[in-house]
Amino acid sequence: MKHLYFCRHGLSEMNKLGLWAGQIETPLTPEGKEQAKLAGEFAKDLNIGHIVSSPYSRALDTAKIIAKQIGYPLKNIEQNSLFIERGLGVLEGQPWNPDLNIDGFADIETRDTLFERMHLALEFLQTIPADNVLVVSHGASGRALQHIINPAIPFEGPSTIHFPNAKIIQLI
């Protein structure tokens, strides 16, 4: 793998309502589908050789829309549960609060567990023989993966950069 690209899913219904989604299934909005189309237009110049997606519908549907735009066979999209969103326990379905320290809740997937999962995900990605790999996943998973690849980029805190919906970012 020479280049690794990451795309957070398009705008979902729960995103639109300002709710924590976590591991709840929530479909893409029409705007989210359009965002994915635009990401696909951008991806046409990236020579993507392999697409890996979270199995959650908002990510998988985004991956499928991008794949259609670039002529990538839908049957070749690899679903991998390492790329699911961080488990948010009791916060799932509740109003999103960017200032909340979610590590203080007992039933939330810990930061360390998320990082361990993203280390395994990176090891998996390094086994893919394609030169250009696209991962379609979720915000927290993407930030954790980005932080593992480049520890100078913070996972959380005031200088954290959050991934916009359906924008492709090069990680490697």
Residues 35-59: tens digit of each pLDDT: 999 999 999 999 999 999 999 999 9
CA distances from 139 to 86, 134, 154, 161 (A): 9, 15, 13, 10
pLDDT band at 30 (very low <50, low <70, confident <90, very high): very high
- Amino acid present at 87: G
Taking Cα atoms as reference points, which of 111, 166, 96 lies closest to residue 143?
111
Instruction: State whether residue 97 is helix, strand or coil.
Output: coil
pLDDT number for residue 106: 81
Whether this model's pTM surpasses 0.85? yes
β-pair type (132-137, 78-79): unpaired
Which residue from 93, 111, 115 is spatially nearest to 102, judged by alpha carbons? 111
When pLDDT is averaged across residues 2-9 and rounded to a whole number, the result is 98
63 to each of 55, 66, 92, 102, how far by Cα in Å? 10, 5, 23, 28
Could you read off the pLDDT of 101-114 as tens digits, one per residue?
888 788 999 999 99
Ordered structural domains, the chain, with CATH? 3-170 (3.40.50.1240)
> In this predicted structure, what is the pLDDT of residue 36?
98
Contact 66, 136 (CB under 8 A): yes
Higher pLDDT, 1 or 42: 42
Distances (CA, A) of 59 to 6, 10, 89, 92: 11, 7, 20, 17
Confidence of residue 135 (pLDDT cuts 50, 70, 90): very high
What does residue 81 show for φ and ψ, rounded to 5 degrees? -70, -10
Q: Of 16 and 100, which is predicted with more confidence? A: 16
Average pLDDT over every residue of 149-161: 86
Binning pLDDT at 50, 70 and 90, where does residue 130 land? very high
In the predicted structure, residue 159 carries a pLDDT above the cut 80: no
pLDDT tens per residue, range 69-97: 999 999 999 999 999 999 999 999 999 88
